[in-house]
Structures are given as C-alpha cells and as structure tokens.
C-alpha cells in the first residue's frame, strides 16, 4: 500500500533497525519470561536420558539451512539489490515445493497442510479490507483526528496520538485492518503533524505489535487451534503483555525513534 499510494518502497534493513531493538529483541525477552510464568511446563532435562542423541544434519536439513540463510542475507541487503522481501520469500517457498529438492513430499498440499486456519486467517484479513472499503474505518479515524490537537512543535504527543488511533482501529477491526485503514490517511496525518509519510506509516507498527485480545491476530488464533492451547491463558498473556507494551516498551521505542531522527519532517 505504501508503494502504490505514495511510491515509497520500504527497506527490510531500515525496518529492522527501526523496530527490532525494542519491539523485537527486548519484547521477545519479556515475552519469554511471561510465557515461563503463565504457561509453565516441566523441566525437559528430566527426560533427557530418554531422548535419542541426534547425529549430524541430514542433507535436507543442510539444504533448508542454506535456503533460509540466503533468504535472510537477501532481506538484509535489500538496500543494495532493491528486490522486494516478498519476492524473496516467495522464491524460497516455491523452491521448497519443487519436487526434486526433496524438502517437501509431492502430496504435502493435499495431506499435510491444515486449510482450516488458512481460511480463517484469509477471512479475518478480508474483514479488514471490507471495513476499510465500506468507510467504517474513516468514520472512526477522521472525527478523532479532528479533535486531537496536532501541532508541529509537539512531536511526541503527535506520535502517541496517532498510535492511539491505530490501536483503536485494531480493537474495532483487527491488526491487519490497521494498515488497510490508516495507510490511505497517512498523507493527511503527515500534513497535520509535520511528520514524513514514512514516519506516519511506521507508527502503525507500534499499534499492531501490541495485541489486546486474541481475535485481533489471526496467526495467534491459528496457533491456539494447532497447539491446543487454553484460550483464557493466552488471553491473559496478551493482556499483561499489552500493559507492559504501553507502560514500558512504547516509551523506550519512542526514545529510540528520537535517536534515529524519525521525528523530523
């Protein structure tokens, strides 16, 4: 959407530098600690003697490691070759499905893939587009934008306000609905706040990386179904992580953005 609306091609490397230190690495560490607390399990060391000792990597494991390594290398260097990360990921997926590689069985799409969660994810993502096209998203965002005192000399307040609007959109629709609704409004929000359009677009990540309830994230719902996880426990985990995200991670992330100069117009 950024490319089609504004001619902005997002770089994987720039995206990584902007979001990974706080919303990726630090948040992952906090999430691991919370999972150990909320979803405890017995120590696997107690059954270590029962497990067979694995040997060296098989040919297929080495082959897949090379494919994933090349994927990551090409993603990290996209500022040099300018190939979209989506095309790189698609090429890797197609390679894995080619029969002569031996990485997947010939009938894996018919026998091993669970299509239920895929249809669910597609339906939820389509719901975000329907809400955007129907005008419901604009009906939510535009009145809020009109009543928020956006001024060029209050950069921190402007970004917090835009993130708050995006979080509200995520609660009303779902996380895929945030870019569908907020991206077309990026230009008008840029004019109101003095931020660049790229900064407005990147502010969406602050919203859709902070999950309030399960229905907002189709992959999490699919993971619960596949892993047979208790819904209430995962919901409680999301609620606690949401509060930590607001109180701890967002201020740290805004400070990181300020260091990188993202508040400049």
**pLDDT (0 to 100) of residue 19:** 93
Q: 61 and 183: one domain?
A: no
Task: Find the length of the chain.
Answer: 265
Whole-angstrom distance, CA of residue 98 vs CA of residue 149: 55
How much is the pLDDT for 92?
Answer: 93
Is 46 part of a structural domain of the chain? no
Residue 237 and residue 38 in contact, taking contact as beta carbons nearer than 8 Å: yes
Among 98, 113, 128, the domain-final residue is 113
- For residue 80, the enclosing domain spans 57-113
Specify the pLDDT at position 104: 82
Residues 30 and 161 in one domain: yes
* Within-domain flag for 11: yes
What pLDDT is stored for residue 52 in this prediction? 55
Residues 68 and 78 in one domain: yes
pLDDT reported for residue 91: 94
Which pLDDT value is given to residue 72?
92
Per-residue pLDDT at 48: 56
Residues 139 and 224 in one domain: yes
Task: Take residue 246 and report the two structure tokens written for it.
Answer: 């607001």
Give residue 118's Cα distance to chain centre.
17
**Which pLDDT score is estimated for 99?**
82
252: helix, coil or strand?
Answer: helix
pLDDT confidence band for 38 (50 / 70 / 90): confident
Residue 44 lies in a domain: no
> Across 35-49, 148-162, 184-198, which has the greatest mean pLDDT?
184-198
Residue 21 predicted with pLDDT over 70: yes
From 113, 134, 154, the end of a domain falls on 113
- Cα 97 to Cα 94, 101, 116, 212: the distances in Å are 5, 8, 20, 36
142 and 68 co-located in one domain: no
pTM of the model: 0.72
| pLDDT score, position 123 | 72
**232 and 179, same structural domain?**
yes
* Other CB atoms within 10 Å distance of the CB of residue 210: 24
Q: Looking at the 3D structure of the chain, how many domains does it have?
A: 2
Q: Examine the domain organization and report whether 107 and 8 are in the same domain.
A: no
Please report the pLDDT score of residue 125 as a whole number: 61
Q: Is residue 49 part of a domain?
A: no
The residue out of 89, 113, 137 marking a domain boundary is 113
Mean pLDDT in the chain?
Answer: 81
Q: Are residues 183 and 228 in the same domain?
A: yes
pLDDT in tens, 86-101: 899 999 989 988 888 8
Lowest mean pLDDT among 136-140, 189-193, 247-251: 136-140
pLDDT band (50, 70, 90) for residue 256: very high
State the Cα–Cα distance between residues 72 and 66, nearest whole angstrom: 10
pLDDT tens column, 206-226:
888 888 887 777 778 878 878
Same domain, 182 and 89: no
Is the same domain home to 64 and 151? no
Q: How confident is the model over 25-37, as a mean pLDDT?
A: 91
| 3-state DSSP assignment of residue 229 | coil
Residue 51 pLDDT class (50, 70, 90 cuts): low
| In-domain check, residue 179 | yes
228 assigned to some structural domain: yes
Residue 85: per-residue pLDDT = 84
Whether residue 24 lies inside any domain: the answer is yes
Whole-angstrom distance, CA of residue 13 vs CA of residue 206: 18
Instruction: Indicate whether 190 and 65 sit together in one domain.
Output: no
Residues 7 and 133 in one domain: yes
């Amino acid at each position: 959407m950024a490319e089609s609306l504004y001619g902005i091609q997002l770089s994987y490397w720039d995206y990584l530098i902007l979001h990974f230190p706080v919303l990726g690495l630090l948040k992952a560490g906090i999430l691991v600690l919370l999972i150990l607390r909320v979803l405890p399990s017995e120590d696997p060391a107690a059954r270590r003697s029962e497990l067979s000792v694995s040997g060296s990597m098989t040919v297929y494991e080495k082959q897949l490691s090379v494919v994933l390594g090349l994927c990551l290398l090409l993603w990290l260097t996209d500022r040099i070759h300018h190939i979209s990360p989506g095309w790189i990921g698609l090429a890797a997926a197609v390679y894995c499905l080619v029969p002569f590689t031996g990485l997947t069985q010939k009938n894996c799409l018919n026998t091993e893939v669970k299509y239920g969660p895929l249809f669910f994810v597609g339906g939820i993502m389509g719901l975000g587009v329907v809400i955007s096209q129907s005008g419901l998203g604009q009906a939510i965002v535009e009145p809020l934008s009109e009543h928020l005192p956006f001024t060029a000399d209050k950069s921190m307040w402007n970004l917090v306000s835009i993130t708050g609007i995006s979080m509200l959109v995520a609660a009303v629709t779902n996380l895929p609905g945030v870019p569908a609704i907020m991206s077309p409004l990026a230009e008008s929000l840029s004019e109101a706040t003095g931020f660049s359009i790229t900064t407005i677009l990147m502010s969406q990540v602050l919203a859709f990386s902070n999950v309030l309830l399960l229905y907002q994230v189709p992959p999490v719902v699919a993971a619960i179904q596949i892993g047979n996880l208790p819904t209430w426990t995962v919901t409680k985990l999301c609620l606690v992580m949401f509060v930590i995200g607001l109180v701890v991670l967002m201020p740290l992330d805004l400070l990181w953005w300020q260091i990188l100069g993202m508040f400049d117009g």
